[in-house]
Amino acid sequence: MDVSKVSSMSSPATSGDREKVVSKLPGWLRQNLKVRAAQHGIEIQVAVELGITDWCNLAATPATIDTAGADSFSTFLPDGQWDTFRSVAADRNVSLIQGLAQAVQLWLDANPAPHVARPAITRRMVVCNQKGGVGKTAITAGTGEALAEDPNTLHAVRVAKALTKALRASETRADESMPSGDDPLDIENLPGPGLRVLLVDFDPQCHLTNQLGAVPLPMNGDSLTNHMAGDPKGDLRDLIVSIDDENFGGRLHLLPACNDAFLLDVRLSAVRAREAALERALAPLEADYDVILVDCPPSLGLSMDAAAYYGRRRDGEKPGQSGALIVVQAEDSSADAYGLLTNQIDDLRGDLQIDIDYLGIVVNLYDGRRGYIATSSLQGWVDIKDPRVVGLIGDLKEQKEAVRMKQPLLSYAPKSQQAIGMRALAREIS
């Protein structure tokens, strides 16, 4: 049966042409239904309606389902459908609870979980700003975590229109830390993107490595710096660690940093086409990942050039898939740093004749309670428009706590406003 046809036939879904039906369904089946409907972007009541229609049309009763522990389940069905279902169930000598369970299972079987959409070219996201402490590392980690989350589980996401609303509200309301507040209407439960993500700690300070509970690489061993300098001591893959959490299902990896990256500029001085050094080092890893995020150091040196070059648009790659994600703070001193950074990226574009896209601006550590300075500079970032603001993350305690606990933010506080904002950001740029 054509899903789109049925859902349009039954819309508006909660209007008077549907009747409320109260029955029972086992918890596991209810959960599967909820997740699968979200994965297919259709309403639960429409999925049930389709399942019941198919069930009634079957020539014979399908396999019995264990309905032990079934408890209350209510939904809205088109007028009359429940009566038809009731009489078919009576003819088949099947209880309503068993029949409904079979109908829901029928819909689940006919609509398997969609495959994760993988990019043809591994996406490279370079998280940068030479200004220190604006949250590059926090945003790299949070975005990567959000992109790797389980596609078979639902996660709270602040929907895109809420971001726009929040940005608009910031003009008028200076009295709240997060303008969109906790309005439940702005939160949607969505399946995780389920992408294979590599976080690259490209900062000799090793913050990302430490923050995720990993150990910086020892000075005398192999490292990304060695690979970039054309002096590898082994396979770069052997240095990668998995950030383990059920929710990331082995999809979230980290290439830890090493203090030797402080010497990167010196080590690269004798290397030809130095801008391409990061790309040469990471290219062999790309087949294993859908997204590679690079956490840049707070500097405008050669490492920034190499990172920006790595994020350039490749032949056959759509604009906006890879590029620079700029993290700023809603305060005036951030604007000068932004100008310097974009100048450098523009120079690189011109000198090397390459396209480097901006993925957007993330305004981090936002606290509207700081008044005019915060709200007016947020407005300043919004007014840039190109690139546009793709994320607004509040200054809240969970991020600092997660760092202290050496845990991924989205594991430590999966329902926090920050986690919800990170998921919104990840979806905004994907």
- Binding footprint of Mg ion on the chain (CB under 5 A): 136-137, 207
Tell me the site size for ligand ATP, rule CB under 6 A: 20
Of the listed pieces 99-107, 202-210, 245-253, 281-289, which binds ligand ATP according to CB under 6 A? 202-210
Residue 133 binding partner per list ligand ATP, Mg ion, none, with a CB distance cut-off of 5 to 8 Å that depends on partner kind: ligand ATP
**Segment interacting with ligand ATP, rule: CB under 6 A, options 221-229, 252-260, 333-341, 397-405:** 397-405
Window 249-288: contact mask with ligand ATP (x via CB under 6 A): ----------------------------------------
**Segment contacting ligand ATP by CB under 6 A, of 248-256, 330-338, 353-361, 389-397:** 389-397
C-alpha distances in angstroms, 84 versus 2, 10, 63, 79? Answer: 20, 17, 21, 10
Residue type, 189: N
Give the interface segment with ligand ATP, choosing from 77-85, 199-207, 258-266, 314-322 (CB under 6 A): 199-207
Least separation in angstroms between CB 116 and ligand ATP: 28
Among 124, 158, 196, 207, binds ligand ATP (CB under 6 A): 207
CB of 415 to ligand ATP, least distance (A): 16
Residue nearer to Mg ion on the CB measure, 41 or 132: 132
Q: Least distance from C-beta 203 to Mg ion, angstroms?
A: 5
Supply the minimum distance, in Å, between the C-beta of residue 138 and Mg ion: 8
Radius of gyration (C-alpha) of the chain in whole angstroms: 25
> Considering the complex, what minimum distance in angstroms separates the CB of residue 312 from ligand ATP?
22
In the complex, least distance from residue 258 CB atom to ligand ATP, rounded to whole angstroms: 16
Interior angle at CA 54, CA 51 and CA 57, nearest 5: 150
Is residue 364 a contact residue for ligand ATP (CB under 6 A)? yes
CA distances from 411 to 16, 148, 151, 155, 157 (A): 42, 12, 15, 11, 15
Residue 357's binding partner out of Mg ion, ligand ATP, none, with CB under 5 to 8 Å set by partner kind: none
Task: Name the minimum Å distance from CB 132 to ligand ATP.
Answer: 4
> Taking contact as CB under 6 A, which single stretch among the options 284-292, 351-359, 377-385, 391-399 is the one that binds ligand ATP?
391-399
- Residues numbered 121 to 160 that lie near ligand ATP (CB under 6 A) are 132-138
CB of 155 to Mg ion, least distance (A): 25
Residue with smaller CB distance to ligand ATP, 126 or 365: 365
Report phi then psi at 106, rounded to 5.
Answer: -60, -45
Footprint on this chain of ligand ATP (rule: CB under 6 A): 132-138, 203, 205, 207, 298, 364-365, 393, 395-396, 399-400, 403, 418
